[in-house]
């Protein structure tokens, strides 16, 4: 078996890695040369009309050639957004440090970023009481973003900020919702030890009228409806182009199986989160229905920081996950998660129906233990993914149903950067999930999981954004990428120069394009969710598929010292002028 490290060897021709039930395809040397040839063409300096004033004839010819060339390259353009700080709006519902933010946004705009993303926290906007929405701080923020000519991706954040990797502020869900949990703690996700996780509401209460007459889904729907009503001008003017719908912890479609507030430490396998009384009752009813009342929720799956081999459930050769009882449980557990996402996305689709924007949902990049038989960390999160069972196809199909973008994480990660003990496979995982999305005909976007400022991390992102490199059709290509996140460190040198070079590469070496239709991103009114396929049918389609071909390295890489040289050149030209 060829190792992934070996696959990163540029001298390997047509390598295939059969690990985990599918192949990693590596393009041949001949194919790589063609891609490099295409890139070498775009590296030629373009003469713009402003730079050729010697004659009218020459100006017209240059303008024609430049436009045709740019249009061809724009099919490979991947827009880049920057996530704003988690606490840009404070718990008191005030825009934090407005003047500093303006300076930062000005700098981002000058770097040719396409837009920004921001969490719109449920715990801030509806903090005063049910349906008492306060949007003024976010309207102020959106007006500032608009004034700089930036596009905006808004996250409907129905979870708590605090307790996840990278969280530097604490924003709980609304106090009046938490108070319901004081008398009924089963509204929260619960592990087998009975510990409650108050990061978000359990999917078990999606349709229970426990919140002053409303269900959880109704609260989410009303919040999104109020957002649309109060932000209609930003939507109609094309400032807000994307609504990412929060579906769980960290806004992701998953169970909170690995939470630092519960004592989890990487690379622990995490724990199942289905022991509240509502999910327990649902499971007991299901096993009675199929004639196995003796089956119980798992008690042998270990604790947060176990490794798979330490548990009976995830033992690689004879674990419970391989037996009929375990398989039924995992199917039920993952099905509940998919139904949860389907229902909330359906409500979001109805709320934003007719708006010229995209819906999106985020799936977590759980890469640790990916190279083991049981994929334990994915299973505890609700992703029933094994070497002979694709756990992401049903998610992609569900998002296709609602015309939603699949947003995936960990795009910056490489296998060689991960500790050997974790048996991680971020590269194969990214290939699997992105390929699922593209195979189902949906748009795929992505984020970095951890802050990166180095060329290796950026080059990996560029590779995943265009796995086949620059090509005439611009396919496959990610719909967009969001960088986490805006900070003083990002805007300081030499980090910012490297980031600007990264932007240029993501834009296929083109200047910022203010007309998304030119790179096939024209927004159309959101259509109603499809109902021609049942969710039950989606869940049956779990056969693994071969991933799309991936180059071993991007054909538009940031070269060593390139950003430094570019910075020196800019400084020289400024002084000269």
User: CA 74 to CA 77: how far, in whole Å?
Assistant: 5
Residue 388, classed as helix, strand or coil, is coil
CB 425 within 8 A of CB 367: yes
CB within 8 A of 151, min separation 6: which ones? Answer: 79, 81, 114, 115, 116, 238, 239, 240, 241
Instruction: Give me the long-range contacts of 101-109 (CB less than 8 A, separation at least 24).
Output: 101/141, 101/144, 102/144, 102/148, 104/486, 104/491, 105/144, 105/145, 105/148, 105/150, 106/148, 107/491, 107/496, 108/82, 108/148, 108/150, 108/486, 109/148, 109/149, 109/150
Q: Has 43 been annotated as catalytic?
A: no
User: How distant, in Å, are the alpha carbons of 43, 465, 466, 536 from that of 29?
Assistant: 21, 21, 18, 44
Strand (E) or helix (H) holding 42: helix 29-42
**Catalytic hit among 252, 271, 378, 443:** 252
188-190/196-201 β-pairing: antiparallel
With tokens 């195979």, the residue in question is 439
Strand blocks (E) in 235-364? 240-245, 358-363
Residue 154, classed as helix, strand or coil, is strand
Q: Has 447 been annotated as catalytic?
A: yes
80-83/480-483 β-pairing: parallel
User: How distant, in Å, are the alpha carbons of 18, 56, 169, 203, 412 from that of 450?
Assistant: 28, 51, 16, 27, 8
**Catalytic hit among 70, 126, 373, 447:** 447
CB 484 within 8 A of CB 447: yes
Residue 562, both tokens? 């390139």
CB within 8 A of 225, min separation 6: which ones? Answer: 351
Q: Which of 257, 229, 538, 186 is nearest to 391 (CA)?
A: 538
CB 369 within 8 A of CB 422: yes
User: CA 463 to CA 19: how far, in whole Å?
Assistant: 21
Q: How many other CB atoms are found less than 10 A from the CB of residue 285?
A: 10
R_g (Cα) of the chain, nearest Å: 24
User: CA 551 to CA 465: how far, in whole Å?
Assistant: 11
- Tell me 14's DSSP state: S
User: How distant, in Å, are the alpha carbons of 227, 458, 482 from that of 410?
Assistant: 29, 12, 11
Active site residues: 252, 447
């Amino acid at each position: 078996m060829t190792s992934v490290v070996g696959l990163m060897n540029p001298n390997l021709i047509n390598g295939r890695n059969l690990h985990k039930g599918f192949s990693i395809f590596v393009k041949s040397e001949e194919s790589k040369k063609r891609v490099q040839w295409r890139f070498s063409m775009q590296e030629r300096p373009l003469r713009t009309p402003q730079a050729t004033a010697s004659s009218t004839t020459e100006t017209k010819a240059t303008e024609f050639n430049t436009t045709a060339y740019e249009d061809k390259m724009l099919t490979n353009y991947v827009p880049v957004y920057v996530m704003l700080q988690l606490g840009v709006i404070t718990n008191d519902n005030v825009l934090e440090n407005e003047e500093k933010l303006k300076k930062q946004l000005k700098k981002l705009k000058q770097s040719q970023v396409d837009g920004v993303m921001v969490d719109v926290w449920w715990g801030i906007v509806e903090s005063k009481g049910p349906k008492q929405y306060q949007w003024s701080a976010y309207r102020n923020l959106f007006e500032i973003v608009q004034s700089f000519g930036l596009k905006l991706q808004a996250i409907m954040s129905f979870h708590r900020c605090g307790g996840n990797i990278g969280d530097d502020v604490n924003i709980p869900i609304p106090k009046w919702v938490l108070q319901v949990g004081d008398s009924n703690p089963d509204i929260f996700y619960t592990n087998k030890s009975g510990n409650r996780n108050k990061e978000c509401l359990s999917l078990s209460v999606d349709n229970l009228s426990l919140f002053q007459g409303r269900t959880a889904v109704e609260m989410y729907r009303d919040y999104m409806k109020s957002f649309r009503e109060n932000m209609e001008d930003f939507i109609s003017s094309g400032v807000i182009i994307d609504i990412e719908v929060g579906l769980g912890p960290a806004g992701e479609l998953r169970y909170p199986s690995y939470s630092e507030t519960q004592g989890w430490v990487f690379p622990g396998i995490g724990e199942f989160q289905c022991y509240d009384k509502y999910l327990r009752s649902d499971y007991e009813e299901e096993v009675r229905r199929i004639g196995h009342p003796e089956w119980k929720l798992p008690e042998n799956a270990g604790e947060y920081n176990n490794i798979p081999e330490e548990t009976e459930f995830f033992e690689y050769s004879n674990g419970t996950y391989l037996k009929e009882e375990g398989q039924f449980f995992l199917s039920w557990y993952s099905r509940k998660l998919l139904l949860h996402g389907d229902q909330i996305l359906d409500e979001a689709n109805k709320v934003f129906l007719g708006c010229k924007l995209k819906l999106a949902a985020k799936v977590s990049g759980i890469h640790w233990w990916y190279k083991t038989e049981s994929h334990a960390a994915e299973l505890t999160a609700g992703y029933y993914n094994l070497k002979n069972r694709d756990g992401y196809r049903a998610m992609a199909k569900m998002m296709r149903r609602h015309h939603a973008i699949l947003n995936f994480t960990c795009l910056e990660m490489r296998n060689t950067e991960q500790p050997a003990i974790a048996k991680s496979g971020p590269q194969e995982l990214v290939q699997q999930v992105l390929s699922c999305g593209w195979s189902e005909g949906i748009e795929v976007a992505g984020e970095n999981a951890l802050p990166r400022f180095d060329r290796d991390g950026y080059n990996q992102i560029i590779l995943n954004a265009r796995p086949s490199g620059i090509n005439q059709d611009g396919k496959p290509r990610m719909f967009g990428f969001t960088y986490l996140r805006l900070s003083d460190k990002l805007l300081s040198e030499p980090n910012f120069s490297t980031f600007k070079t990264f932007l240029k590469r993501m834009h296929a070496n083109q200047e910022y394009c203010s007309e998304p239709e030119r790179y096939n991103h024209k927004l159309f009114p959101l259509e109603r969710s499809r109902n021609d396929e049942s969710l039950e049918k989606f869940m049956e389609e779990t056969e693994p598929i071969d991933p799309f071909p991936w180059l071993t390295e991007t054909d538009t890489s940031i070269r060593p010292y390139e950003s430094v040289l570019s910075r020196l050149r800019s400084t020289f030209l400024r002084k000269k002028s």
